[in-house]
Structure 1
């Protein structure tokens, strides 16, 4: 499989180092230690990611009742995810994902390109969940069952990427602000056309090298 050759400027972004953290069984133990050290903030994000992926992959078995953020995310994001999936279908069709490691690689590399310009907003935070859902479904379609064991490293990888945006999230009102924005039907930040265009552009860049 041909590896993505990221631009040298993008390689300086912290997100690109996620590949090192998104592989191997040691990831689970390393992140469990971090969860207990950071006042459960990472655990909350992990649970949010897990709940969303279970929702889009039609897994009704949740560990606990989903948070309010998870419930609103599950209502808003899937329709956007479906539109993006339809747009990238011609490119996505040629890419086969046969392992959790490959899924994590693809996720982290597309997200690195998505955020390569250094800009962050709530719309882009939303695309993290959207593309995570797209990647998980693709993995499922290629015959890899999304068991708890397989779901864990994907959720960890997505959580680690979101954690690289922790400062921005905190400075912009935290997840309560994200919830408020998700609930605004005509919010300018949720310019769906822009969000779709940006994510599709990042994926198109990725597919050139895959």
Structure 2
């Protein structure tokens, strides 16, 4: 998947400025696609030059002017083509896993510390995504929302984000505990 598809998907919900897109991206898309704000601004410019999004200038009296972007019919067509194309399997590419792989050779203390930090970060992300889920479904319970909610795509991706972060948190805590036990056992020998 290219960043363009994630940006186009995020813009399906309406017009956004680059700043608003970055905020929406950070909350709703970041659990499956990471992009820095400057990458989003550059992608918006490319998409606009290709006619996949349309931008319009909004004049503001008390603030600097801003541009709002929306998906064009051509952009929707690109998303539709992407949606029916075969997806490639996902893969993990995480430098922490390399550190865990060599921890018993180079020392476990810094790796344990980083695992604990990652677990804490995952917990914070779980709380954030859970808040987003509650906001998206409003007064409906989850099953009711999944059956009849107006737009469930963002909800479903947030569910995946929560599951991913829960598993990541649990794995980090488990591996930190394993490395701590090994460290203690080796110290006693």
TM-score range, shorter chain: under 0.3
User: Which of the two has higher C-alpha Rg?
Assistant: 2
Q: TM-score, normalised by structure 1?
A: 0.26
Q: Which has the higher contact order (CA 8 A, sep 6+)?
A: 1
